Chains A and B, each alone.
Chain A
Amino acid sequence: MIKQQFQTPAGYKKWTFALLGIGLAALLAGIFLLAFSKDEHDVTRFWAVLLQNSVYFLMITNAAMFLICAVTLAHGGWTIAFRRVPEAISAVVPVFSVLALIVFIGIIYGHQHHIYHWVDEAEVAKDPILTWKKGFLNPTFFMAWTIITLTIWTLVGRKMRQLSREADEPMEGEQAKKYIWRSTVWAAIFIVFFALTTGSTVPWIWFMSIDAHWYSTMYSWYTFISGFVGGLALIALFIVFLKNHGYLEYTSREHVHDVGKFIFAFSIFWTYLWFSQFMLIWYANIPEETVYFQPRINGPYKGIFWFNFIVNFAAPILILMTRGSKRNYAVVTFMSVLLILGHWLDYYQMVMPGTVKDHFSLGWFEWGIFALYAGMILFFTGRALAKAPMVATHHPYLKESVIHHT
């Protein structure tokens, strides 16, 4: 009999509450010291950090559901042995959606025009470019589309998790076929909507509208891939952790190897988009476009920009290239932690140059909010893991997953 019931290990609880404690302390201190500060820079820092973190962690947790749906749609069976792990991670999405929504309401209705320049109506009226974009960049559209997005992510995600729970019960041949078909349909719905949101519109309004005059057609893909690599790294971390605690008996090095391949491949893809976005702008050399890279390459963000490139490209390509390293739990863990931090930093350099500008810092508040979100991921994912058996033992593709071989 395999270990089906997840019991939160003591160390896990300790880490969860330590991170949550640090995070909440940082948030409270942030509210008192920054949010209500007389200095505008402090207020902007507060909202910018909350925006960066709430979107980043929403993206990486939702990426888990994207992985599930993409694999389901491709009729892939290899993930079934550990599928409850990304499912549990995606169960955090509703919570993070609400938090992100609160942050957006705070920014837009709190009139934080240093974050989103376009919330200032007087400025928009004077600005022909922003007036032209007004049909798209306005509080009503922003909030409506955000709410629709978050609701559908939450609902379809929940439907996918419920479908997965059906595979805990035995099913016959015909029933199993129908089950696979229903899963495929729901996965397709999620993927299509995901493409309309994460793949295009949502990064435009959430992040790209910080630099409201500027635009890039690569931006949404870039944001999505950054979050997807972070999400894959998070899944790998949980798999290794659970393996080390004697869970997930059906998951072997073969599965970790394949998750490692995904991390490797999408790190390369991230670099492809990172470079493509840069090169087109560099080549055309139009001032309206180069303005985005000015603070990042020549300005104060130079160090972070290149460090980001080393961590997210040079490290994975060199370290994860060999077969042995992708099958080594220690290396995979190290790379996962590095990439979660790396893509967090990537989101940092997307948000900060347009908001806090030269007054950026990577201090107690930034890392405190990071800790808060990390703690919340541990807390809610742990709770979701404990709710369901660790493996859907009657899933039609389970055998395919168990004998999976790279």
Chain B
Amino acid sequence: MDIRKFVVGSFDDEAVLFPAVEKVRKAGYKIHDVYTPFPVHGLDKALGLRDTSLHTAGFIYGLTGLTTALSFISWILTKDWIQNYGGKPHFSLPAWIPIMFELTVLFSAVGMVLTFCYLCQMAPFVKKHHFSLRATDDLFVMVIECTAKTNVQEAEAFLAANGALDINVQVAEAGWWIGRYDMDRKLFETQTEAATA
């Protein structure tokens, strides 16, 4: 368990969110993440995230698929179970290209989906703490992680000054866990949703 303290601020406007992200970063706070109801263009840049390596992984999976198909078929048709198909040579590459292509696509697609799920810490039965349920509806939720040096009141005031609507402090699991939400005692010990929301 990795329980940490977070200051959570919600925004209802992209135009407010972007300058706020910039100022919060400049002020030296550590942004845990920003949760949005839909993909927001340019937010990754504003947060200073590096480009994803997902496509490099995809390329490697694709090559793996290509190699798997080629080695497997060529082993079957030239070593293990030689057959004559329409008088073609045993090593007849053109006939295998569709299968090699399909396996390239299959490996890279499935591999990338699984990698994506891994990077996002998504899997069956894997749970993560929700900082604000309205992040799936109509609010952009910025989560600041408190370190030993962070002054919580100051951080709250700073968020308020930068246009956050709904600010609260949460003590929550930073990573993921396997189980159910309602089994998680901590989630209900600290009420996270503002009653007025």
Contacts and interface: CB of A to CB of B under 8 A. Distances in A.
B95 interface: yes
B51 A405 contact: no
A86 B57 CA distance: 36
A92 B51 CA distance: 41
A283 interface: yes
Contacts of A275: 94, 97
Contacts of B28: none
B124 interface: no
Interface in A316-338: 321-323
B41 A323 contact: no
Nearest to B41: A405
Contacts of B98: 279
B94 A323 contact: no
Interface residues of B, number: 12
Given A321-B59, A323-B51, A323-B55, A278 B94 contact: yes
Contact of B42 (A278, A283, A405): A405
B136 to A, nearest CB: 23
Q: Is the interface of A mostly helix, strand, loop or mixed?
A: helix
A146 B156 CA distance: 73
A285 B92 CA distance: 13
A321 B95 CA distance: 26
Contacts of B42: 405
A322 B86 CA distance: 41
A interface, how many residues as a size bin? 10 to 19
Contacts of A322: 55
A285 B55 CA distance: 39
Interface in B31-69: 41-42, 51, 55, 59
Nearest to B56: A322
A282 interface: yes
Interface string A276-297: 0011001101000000000000
Interface in B66-94: 86-88, 94
Contact of A283 (B41, B55, B94): B94
A21 B138 CA distance: 64
A256 B56 CA distance: 22
A35 B59 CA distance: 52
B97 A283 contact: no
B51 A283 contact: no
Nearest to A284: B86
Given A323-B51, A405-B41, A405-B42, A283 B59 contact: no
Given A323-B51, A405-B41, A405-B42, A279 B59 contact: no
B84 to A, nearest CB: 14
A402 B42 CA distance: 14
Interface of B: 41-42, 51, 55, 59, 86-88, 94-95, 97-98
Pick the 3 closest A-B CB pairs, nearest first.
A405-B41, A279-B94, A282-B94
5 contacts: A275-B97, A279-B97, A279-B98, A321-B59, A322-B55
